Structure 1
Amino acid sequence: MALGAGDRLLMRTVSQRRGALFLLVGSGLCGTIAVLLLPAALSRGVDAAVAGSPMAAAVWVVLALAVVDIVTEILGEVLRARLVADTGAELRRGLVRHLVALGTRRHPFRPGDALSRLTSDCAEAGGAAVILVGLLTAALSALGALAALALLDWRLAVVFVLSLPPAVLLAGGHLRRTAGHVADYQRISGELAGRLVDAVRGRRTILAAGIAEQETVRVLRPLGALGEAGRGMWRTQSVMVWRAALLLPAVEAAVGVTAGFGVAAGRLTAGELLAALGYVALGMGLVRSAALLTTLASARAGAARLAEVLTTPTPSDLGLPAPAGGGRLEFDRVSVHDDQGEPALRDLTFDVPEGGFLAVVGFSGAGKSAVAAAAGGLLIPDAGEVRIDGVAVSALGPSARRAVVGQAFDRPVLIGDTVGAVVGYGGTEDESRVRSAAVAARIDDAVLRLPEGYRTATADAPFSGGEVQRLGLARALVAEPRVLVLDDATASLDTVTEAEVNRAIVTALPGRTRLVVTHRVAVAAGADRVLWLHQGSRRGLATHETLWRDPAYRAVFAEAPG
């Protein structure tokens, strides 16, 4: 069985928990030895009883072995739970880190699918080591039982060995057939979760369009394939169960008959006959553990799905450092497609000189936000290149990109335990710089009115929509970037406040290059040039005054924002 990326991921993750794994293996070995010694001890007790000899010693040995078995089983349960929990947590940590890093690149992992991998797949994969230890213990029990049968009578061992090839074939065939069904089931489950999350996020749009029934059909479409994968798993499991149900009693009967002839011939005692039956039961425990093979297949499939995410390239801090320059921004024949494969930007070329101010306008869906995302490196072009001071934004490491370009959005998410941490997030913890950025964004007064100012817990700060936007803007300013990208970042502000914020930005960051997505005439009029987009293409690039002569351009500002 070839090792895949998921198997290697599990090996790396479990290797970090070697202590718990060794203890689990050790307790399993102790328990296996105790269980293997138990039939022999019982055999001596039975033979002593038949012969009328003292049984006390045999009874005490049986009790001691039973205690060891119980203690190791309890310890094993604790260790198994700990190992599964720790491994699952480590897998989740790694997956979350990678998904967050992938946020700056286009990737195929939709929110629902990512959530499915984060929950069920991590849980499944986290139990892989425990499953393997269980199978190892069952295999050692089988080998130990075979050795014990050979010591009793080589004929018993031969009969038992003859049963092993069918058992191995049965287990191997089950594992091969199950793996495909399990992988399909988990993949389709992720797809279904992705569709469901998308529908929940877009519920208002769905209801407004009156297509709830059609959307329900779309979301539930994978159910048929999911059911077929589930039925495939059930069919494979049922075949395994009934074949094992036939094999186990057949082997026990064959060994029992052979042992009976041994007793008749005087080669075995009555106690040894009972011991032989006990060892057969232990030896066939590997077949009884066949259900673990299905669980193992699920764990490996889950690990493979995690490896798909973890092997997807992300921006690295080993990327290029920040280049020298004053913030010249260039789009060179940039094309971008959305998640559905539709073009969002088409062969777009323009530049913003150092210290320039470019407004980006257009109807909804024209590609304005795609321009902003590409300028900040949040979206990697499918063709062409976005450069700042001659270096591709996609080639910059995260820290370098943060120093070069700052971004603010129309609906910023406030990340950080305190208001000060929100403003400084990813940029600095220096309180004076945080305060300066807040002053420039015209949010300082609102923060100071809070009970603890910048140390107020974010959850306890009742900010309005406009104040949240200004906090997002302050967060973009705090690193003092040479290029500032604002994606409708002042849309919730009134005209007067917006004008004050724009003047404050120029004062706080003089000579900075600005790219501002807007739907407001005043902002466009204040820009050096305006990039007018239509269906992802450049329809115009000129001053606002020049473009204003075109009625189609004026119609852009008549569209209600939203």
Structure 2
Amino acid sequence: MNKTKETGNWRSFYRLIRDTKPSKLLLSIAIGLSVITSIGGLIIPLFTKNLVDGFSLDNIHPSQVILMALTFVFQAVASGASIYLLTKIGQKVVATLRDQLWKKLLILPVPFYDKNRTGETISRVTNDTGVVKNLITEHLTSLFTGLISIVGSIVLLLYMDWRMTLVMLTVVPFSLLILIPMGRQMHKVSRGLQDETARFTGILNQVLSEIRLVKSSNAEANEYKSGKSGITNLFQFGLKEGKIQAIIAPLMSLIIMALLVVIIGYGGMRVSSGALTAGELVAFILYLVQIIMPMGQLTSFFTQLQKSIGATERIISTLAAEEEDHTAGRELINASQPIKVEHLTFAYENGENILNDINFTMEAGKVTAIVGPSGGGKTTIFSMLERFYKAQSGVIKLGSDPIEEFSLQSWRSKIGYVSQESPLVAGTISDNIKYGLEREVSETELRKAAEMAYADQFIDEFADGYNTEVGERGIKLSGGQRQRIGIARALLRNPQILMLDEATSSLDSKSEVFVQKALKNLMKGRTTLVIAHRLSTVVEADQILFIEKGRITGSGRHDQLLTTHTMYREFAEQQLQIKELVSVMEVS
């Protein structure tokens, strides 16, 4: 069974490299040059044999010296060209692999990222592909040259003296007894090393991306322990790898030294008896060197191959993961239709139901608000509307058509989303407002969107205006400024469906005033779904849904729920008390 699995790994690895479509022409030329180099190396011991057997100054012809010198030069040039071509092929293979991974990662569904840490995924794109590159650029040439050198040398040795050659070949079974089990161990260690490297990269990514949280929480010591654990694990894997190398290298050296002693001793006896000339013994030893050196290179190749197979297992699983199809389905032209949620039930993988038999209708051009305790499923409804997840049962319809019938691209293009944090990407304010739009955006459109979002007020205060850099995740801007840029982005998309997720919950009262005005501009004439903890933002909604523990327990307008829904009334009274408290604090 292990043998089957191992074979599968080899085949999977081969298919992965083959699918990158490396240049067959360049590969053939590189291998051809390697073959020529190896053949040239096989000729040199024959020159040496003739030189030793008939050594005298009179027998040395300038043509022989020139021919040998040319052979050395040609070998060097061919070897250099072969190495460069293989490096080019290796870099191209890795670039293609990274391109495939990057493209794949962008179209993988959200559940994939729920199950896989970002840092580990990054490690697959960078570290694991680097291992494959090293195999091709640094070790592949030794495979071909080594095999040719070994086979060619053995054939010539059998021709020169088959008895000594058979004595030499007795070491092969001993070498295999060492290399095969050590290779299996190296594969296990390599796989563990790559997984641990990915985990460590995940820790680094998480901690460094949230360094302000780490420092404000005095969590440096805890995070150091977490990172130190990863470093220690990597160290342990490195030691295991070193132990394997420490076993392979000395044992192979011992076998080789013993072989040399036997060959020289036995060869000396053959020379004494006249069965072998001195030149043939020298040539025999030179050919033996041409077998021993490639053996070491082949050992390194197969060790690196085991590492590459271990490294690419995760790459292969990532490339094989189920992806979103953005083009399947028909084009959505008009999204200004009622959205009906019918008997929707959803649970995350291996978890309890988050939504239980949800039913409601969002009328076109109207505002529907969702309120309720945290953890009730409000944000999950947004995720279902964005089609980030698939429901266990139930359906969401636009008009009379399930939304799955429309292509993802056209469906999401009709949705404008403003979240609680309004995430920004590193770049300028202009880049962030235009983010995700493939069409050209004029300066007039850009400024109008910013003006309607009340973002122009602070943008114009910056020296670089719309070209102001916002920093990583918009760190150079305040929460209110980020929110207004997020609203400007939604306005520029001109969506027919709008989703607002806690859009004002984390803002101060001054920022909230501007954001509320911007939201009113954004919501005009659009089918809007709002999540809010502050009831002041939804009291004018056409419909309010109260959701708790994944179920809708009340629906209606604000004044209706005040009289019919006990928990909504408690929410309203609590909000009123908080508002009065804030007013008193502002006055004092």
Same fold (TM over 0.5): yes
Q: Which residue of structure 1 aligns with residue 313 of structure 2?
A: 304
Structure 1 position 547, deviation (Å): 3.8
Q: Which residue of structure 1 aligns with residue 384 of structure 2?
A: 374
SS of the residue 2:116 aligns to: coil
The 2-side partners of 1:459 and 1:494 are apart by 18
The 1-side partners of 2:323 and 2:359 are apart by 27
Contact kept in structure 1, 2:335 and 2:497, CA below 8 Å: no
SS of the residue 1:93 aligns to: helix
In the TM superposition, 1:191-340 aligns within 5 A as: 191-201=199-209, 226=234, 228-289=236-297, 290-323=299-332, 326-331=336-341, 332-337=343-348
Contact kept in structure 2, 1:46 and 1:271, CA below 8 Å: yes
SS of the residue 1:349 aligns to: strand
Of the candidates 5, 27, 31, which is equivalent to residue 25 of structure 1? 31
Of the candidates 453, 456, 460, which is equivalent to residue 441 of structure 1? 453
Structure 1 position 265, deviation (Å): 4.1
Contact kept in structure 2, 1:367 and 1:534, CA below 8 Å: yes
Structure 1 position 278, deviation (Å): 1.1
Q: Tell me, yes or no, if structure 1 residue 406 matches structure 2 residue 416.
A: yes
Q: Which residue of structure 2 aligns with residue 543 of structure 1?
A: 557
| Residues 412 and 35 of structure 1, relative CA distance in 2, 3 Å threshold | farther
TM-score, normalised to structure 1's length?
A: 0.85
Q: Which residue of structure 2 aligns with residue 128 of structure 1?
A: 135
Structure 1 position 414, deviation (Å): 3.9
Q: Residue 147 of structure 1 aligns to which amino acid in structure 2? A: V
Contact kept in structure 1, 2:83 and 2:141, CA below 8 Å: no
Q: Which residue of structure 2 aligns with residue 165 of structure 1?
A: 173
The 1-side partners of 2:167 and 2:402 are apart by 71
| Residues 210 and 496 of structure 1, relative CA distance in 2, 3 Å threshold | closer
Q: Residue 520 of structure 1 aligns to which amino acid in structure 2? A: R
Q: Residue 60 of structure 1 aligns to which amino acid in structure 2? A: I
Structure 1 position 514, deviation (Å): 1.0
The 1-side partners of 2:196 and 2:405 are apart by 35
Query: % of aligned pairs identical?
Result: 21
Q: Residue 349 of structure 1 aligns to which amino acid in structure 2? A: I
Question: After the TM superposition, which of the residue ranges 216-225 and 512-521 deviates more from structure 2?
Answer: 216-225
Structure 1 position 126, deviation (Å): 2.1
Of the candidates 66, 81, 85, which is equivalent to residue 79 of structure 1? 85
The 2-side partners of 1:80 and 1:556 are apart by 71
Question: After the TM superposition, which of the residue ranges 460-469 and 490-499 deviates more from structure 2?
Answer: 460-469
| Residues 457 and 90 of structure 1, relative CA distance in 2, 3 Å threshold | farther
Contact kept in structure 1, 2:87 and 2:136, CA below 8 Å: no
| Residues 459 and 201 of structure 1, relative CA distance in 2, 3 Å threshold | closer
Of the candidates 502, 507, 515, which is equivalent to residue 519 of structure 2? 502
Structure 1 position 182, deviation (Å): 0.9
SS of the residue 2:330 aligns to: coil
Structure 2: any 5+ residue segments left out of the alignment? 1-6, 580-588
Q: Which residue of structure 1 aligns with residue 195 of structure 2?
A: 187
| Residues 391 and 288 of structure 1, relative CA distance in 2, 3 Å threshold | farther
SS of the residue 2:79 aligns to: helix
Structure 1: any 5+ residue segments left out of the alignment? none
Of the candidates 331, 355, 361, which is equivalent to residue 371 of structure 2? 361
| Residues 65 and 173 of structure 1, relative CA distance in 2, 3 Å threshold | farther
**Cα deviations by residue, 1:144-185 (Å, 9 ceiling, x for unpaired):** 111221232233433344333333443333222211121112
Contact kept in structure 1, 2:487 and 2:519, CA below 8 Å: no
Q: Which residue of structure 1 aligns with residue 153 of structure 2?
A: 145
How big is the alpha-carbon RMSD for the aligned residues of Structure 1 and Structure 2? 3.6
Contact kept in structure 2, 1:124 and 1:299, CA below 8 Å: yes
Structure 1 position 387, deviation (Å): 4.6
The 1-side partners of 2:36 and 2:307 are apart by 28
The 1-side partners of 2:429 and 2:203 are apart by 35
Contact kept in structure 2, 1:531 and 1:538, CA below 8 Å: yes
Q: Which residue of structure 1 aligns with residue 104 of structure 2?
A: 98
Structure 1 position 424, deviation (Å): 3.2
Q: Which residue of structure 2 aligns with residue 553 of structure 1?
A: 571
| Residues 412 and 499 of structure 1, relative CA distance in 2, 3 Å threshold | closer
Structure 1 position 457, deviation (Å): 6.5
**Cα deviations by residue, 1:329-357 (Å, 9 ceiling, x for unpaired):** 3444332438xx76683326133233331
The 2-side partners of 1:225 and 1:559 are apart by 51
Question: Alignment length, in residue pairs?
Answer: 553
**Cα deviations by residue, 1:158-216 (Å, 9 ceiling, x for unpaired):** 33443333334433332222111211121122223324433445566666677766665
Q: Residue 356 of structure 1 aligns to which amino acid in structure 2? A: K
**Cα deviations by residue, 1:270-297 (Å, 9 ceiling, x for unpaired):** 2221111111111123431213322221
